[in-house]
Chain A
Amino acid sequence: MKTNYPSASNPRSKKLVKPAIDWLRIGVHVIGSLSLIMLIYKWQTTGLTFNPIQFIEQYLGRAAINMLVLSLAVTPVVTLTGWRKLSKHGRALGLYTFFYFSLHFLTFAVLDYGLNLREIFKLMIEKPFIIIGSSAGLILLALATTSFKYWMKRLGKRWKKLHRLVYLVGALAVLHNAMALKGSLTNLSGNIVRPLVLGVLITLLLVLRIPPVKRWASSLRQKSWIKTRVFAKSK
């Protein structure tokens, strides 16, 4: 990281008094909060359909999966482009995933089922697609709580292993989504385009992390002088 902070002993560094605006960080938070802002905007303008609770529930679920795909894309994008600055924002994107998942779950438990705990618990252990969604949620909860530096240090090497579970979350979330829609992945029929696209995307992102593939992908970048030139500046 560049250090643009002025040194007190050098009065000539006045030009650099203002710390550089971290546009990348701002961008990440804009992307992260966009889904929520758009939901509120829709609520205030066209309204949330004639079945608002179901709409909010499904919308937040989709937002959580979108954020998950974005956070999974961070490492592969760094591999392909060498844009290293990006890698430290994976955590924020992961936390946004957890944020939208939490809102999705709260909508299900509070708005949809009115905190009827017996009914909610029954659904969570009886209905396959809710069992799968809940498992994904529980893993996300574990990942979110251990995403802080304290846990990173405490868990050491195990932290990385634990956080690889995010790919399992991806698989479970897509399955949960596919099962909640009318259609059948085994027959390749019905409302399956979105889960298929997401499934392929997550698999691709996972493949790009397999060490030999990763090496090959980054060698591709080093050969291409254009990319090196473009991204060298931002390093």
Chain B
Amino acid sequence: MKNISIPSSQITPKDVYLSRRDFIKAAGVIAGSLTLAACGVSPIQANPDVTPSSSQVSDTGEIPNTFDEITHYNNYYEFTTDKEGVARMSGNFKTSPWDVEVSGLVNKPGKYSVDDLIRKFQPEERIYRLRCVEAWSMVIPWVGFPLSKLLAEVEPTSDAKFVRFETIFNPDEMPGQKQPYYPWPYQEGLRMDEAMNDLAILATGLYGGELPAQNGGGIRLVVPWKYGFKSIKAVIKVELTDKQPATMWETIAPNEYGFYANVNPQVNHPRWSQGSERRIGELSRRDTLMFNGYADQVAYLYDGMDLQKNY
């Protein structure tokens, strides 16, 4: 699949890129084991089930952010609103074992452990752009499998129109959830056809290793054409429904955060402009791309919809 608006000067030759990534991966694993060892948790192991860069969407030609950047600049209000503090605050959060319950309008509801899911669906590397609604962005090498595979497994009934996701509620380990000003637990939702799109994945890993707690481990959703807050972390419940689910940020401020939350430079957030963004690691701003650069893959989902209204 072709990717738009990426100048060829930014494309790193694949061998260079791969060796760079191996280096970063090794460095990341070492750094990860050092910090985790200090907390008495077993170090991150590279996941042998993963075949890197097997995905059609991984060759965007963009250089991923470093492991350090991705794991130390996190928006994760369940731990703290301080982006640098999330890694520290989530140090004792247990991401394994982790179970996900799939329920609602399905023929075969069930509870799956992340280990089961990894065995069943053979996660692959997906290098995606992530665009935060706060106008910063990253490029992240996730490891995950299409959400559609899990949905096919549970067989949604014909009444199922939406998928609702819920984050674990555990205020003892997630001190941010003691804050009364948020309707915990975090919840998100997708329309069925969005959920079935191949770009929508459930991520179980990062940089070829496990998914760190601060990035949404045990398992998280990644929908790269939508603002980052749609990609809900630490998912324990997936429910198929016939009604559009309420989402956390839409509940808090409906005039600012819509259900769709597609990255769209033409739809200004009432407070700030969404026309440009700062890529972490870069100094000047770049233009924000329609659907975060994934228009070819997802634009059809919104044919005939007024995106100014359905923001």
State the A residues within 8 Å of B (CB): 49-51, 53-54, 112-114, 123, 126-129, 179-180, 182-184, 187-193
Say whether B169 faces chain A, with CB atoms less than 8 Å apart: no
A189 touches B73 (CB 8 A): no
Q: Which residues of A have CB within 8 Å of B272?
A: 127, 129, 180
A129 to B270, CA, bound (A): 9
Is the Cβ of B271 less than 8 Å from the Cβ of A128? yes
Asked whether, in the complex, the Cβ of A49 is within 8 Å of the Cβ of B252, the reply is no
Which B residues touch A123, using CB under 8 A?
273
**B183 to A189, Cβ gap below 8 A?**
yes
Given contacts A113-B285, A127-B272, A129-B271, contact A51 B136 (CB under 8 A): yes
Pick out which of these stretches binds chain A: B2-10, B108-116, B203-211, B275-283.
B275-283
Residues of B within 8 A of A182 (CB): 133-134, 249, 252-253
Contact B183 A114 (CB under 8 A): no
Q: Name the A residues within 8 Å of B134 (CB-CB).
A: 54, 182
The proximity string for B residues 171-188 relative to A, scoring 1 for CB distances below 8 Å and 0 otherwise, is: 000000001011100000
| Chain A residues near B181 (CB-CB < 8 A) | 183, 188-193
27 contacts between A and B (CB under 8 A): A49-B73, A49-B83, A50-B72, A50-B73, A50-B281, A51-B73, A54-B134, A113-B285, A114-B285, A123-B273, A126-B273, A127-B268, A127-B273, A128-B270, A129-B271, A179-B271, A182-B133, A182-B252, A184-B252, A184-B253, A188-B181, A189-B181, A189-B182, A189-B251, A190-B181, A190-B182, A191-B77
Contact A53 B270 (CB under 8 A): no
B188 to chain A, nearest CB (A): 15
* Among candidates B68, B81, B273, B283, residue contacting A191 with C-beta atoms closer than 8 Å: B81
Residues of B close to A129: CB separation below 8 A: 271-272
Residues of A within 8 A of B77 (CB): 191
Complex: chain A residue closest to B81, CB-CB: A191
Q: Find chain B residues with CB under 8 A from A191 CB.
A: 77, 81, 181
- Consensus secondary structure, chain B interface: loop
Which A residues are in CB contact (< 8 Å) with B280? Answer: 50-51
For the complex of A and B, list the 7 residue pairs with the smallest distance between their C-beta atoms, beginning with the closest.
A50-B73, A184-B253, A189-B252, A190-B252, A50-B69, A189-B181, A50-B280
Q: Are B278 and A54 within 8 A (Cβ)?
A: yes
User: Is B284's CB within 8 Å of the partner chain A?
Assistant: yes
A55–B7 alpha-carbon span in the complex (Å): 29
Name the A residues within 8 Å of B153 (CB-CB): none
Name B66-84 residues within 8 Å CB distance of A: 68-69, 72-73, 77, 81, 83-84
Q: Which residues of A contact B68 (CB under 8 A)?
A: 50
**A63 shortest CB reach to chain B, Å:** 17
Q: Which residues of A contact B253 (CB under 8 A)?
A: 182-184, 187, 189-190
Most chain A beta-carbon neighbours within 10 Å: one of B73, B77, B253: B253
Q: Which residue of A lies closest to B179 (CB)?
A: A193
* CA distance in complex: A184, B249 (Å): 10
Interface centre among B81, B181, B273 (most CB of A within 10 A): B181
Q: What residues of chain A lie closer than 8 Å to B182, measured between beta carbons?
A: 189-190
For B268, list chain A residues within 8 Å (CB). Answer: 126-127
Separation of A188 and B181 alpha carbons in the complex (Å): 7
